[in-house]
Amino acid sequence: MKQLLFEDDPQFWFETLRVFGHATYGGSDFGEVVATAARIKAGDYDSWHDEWLATAERLAAEAANAHPVSARDAHLRASTYYRTAEFFLHEHPADPRVAYAYDRSVECFHRAIEGFEGIEPVEIPYEGHVLRGYFYRAPGEGPQPLVVMHSGFDGAAEEMHFFGAMAGQERGYHVLAFDGPGQPSAIHRDGLVFRPDWEHVVGPVLDHALADPGVDLAKVALLGVSLGGELAPRAAAFEPRLAAVVAVDGVFDAAAAIVPFLPWDRAEIERRANAPQDEELDAILAAGRAASPTLRWATGHGRYVMGAATDREFLAKYLAYHLDGGVAELISCPALICEATDDLFFNGDADTPPEPRRLYDRLTGPKTLLSFTTEEGADAHCHIGAQRLAFARIYDWLDDTL
């Protein structure tokens, strides 16, 4: 998709398009996004924070005096804008602006869902902690199918409201959206960092969800967004209670987003990343951060969510997120692998196919590949500009499969 704003900063444009996309389910408004983005200086994380925060604060103040439906809508948009405000600040997680904007985002979301039917916050027991999320109860009587869903490297359970939760509820699905380790509520509240063996996250979530008598135990699907397109298939490889898995979008090896910035093959990168020291790699990562807005953000955020002290340590940890070694072949339930034809992170190159294709080709069970294109306005990573279209096709596939 053509960059309409921040022409020299693909990362700022992608995150702006992401906010635009949430308008589909009430999470933003076009004019608010344009007006806010117009005040932001490209590449300036402080400017990004200040302008999104100003928009969020204005809306939250307006919601305080609004009538119920208007207050619900304003709180929902304010929640998005607060979350967007602190998005680029995670390289310095102790910055008080991070906690303030994150807490206000969650608070506004909770205020918003009070105005919707059948949505409630949940806490799921997990290794001496809780995983926080939201249960969307489908209308009607009797057992209903369930979609358990989560985001990826940087998305929140609250954002899943727009990335499939509302779409599922209105189609007669129960939906459980949650944050796992490394994701916002787990890292902000409890310091829980990402772990690659995601089946040990999904297992307790399913234990909790399947205890609900309203869930049809034979019709349970797992959906992951972005890095969740690797995490969810990883869990599905070891979780027999799933009747389907959806990867939005498919990821076979998450390191594919970073390997192109480095002058070695994957094996050499892994050796160097795990060495006691490697000044050449450190220097290349530092230069890459200076040259690439995407690498700058990914390493700063990645150190926080992976529990790494340096860029090289982050890289070493991130290399563990893949489905090689026979893991992909263990997935036996039907799998829907989505792909974006102009993905900012996982589109491959002349020597490597796009990540969704790599994952699809390794699957040995029932599988479907679903492509989203430029002509549809859906070619961006996770189809952030075309969420109605994307989830219409995804839920139609789930209807047919379950």
Q: Which residues are catalytic?
A: 226
β-strands 215-225, 367-372: how paired?
Answer: unpaired
Contact 391, 167 (CB under 8 A): yes
DSSP string, 49-73: HHHHHHHHHHHHHHHHTS-HHHHHH
At residue 263, the 3 state secondary structure works out as coil
Residue 240, phi then psi, degrees to nearest 5: -75, -10
The three-class DSSP label of residue 133 is strand
Nearest to 394 by CA among 265, 280, 244: 244
For the packed helices 68-85 and 10-21, what is the interaxial angle rounded to 10 degrees?
160
CB 285, CB 314: distance < 8 Å = no
Query: What's the CA gap between 364 and 349, in Å, rounded?
Result: 25
Residue 164, both tokens: 């499939």
What is the token pair recorded at 259? 């390997």
Nearest to 197 by CA among 218, 182, 212, 208: 182
Assigned token pair, 171: 């189609």
CA 183 to CA 244: how far, in whole Å? Answer: 23
DSSP 148-201: EEE--SS--TTGGGTTTHHHHHTTT-EEEEE--TTSHHHHHHH-PPP-S-THHH
Calpha distance 81→36 (Å, rounded): 10
What is the greatest pairwise CA distance in the chain? 62
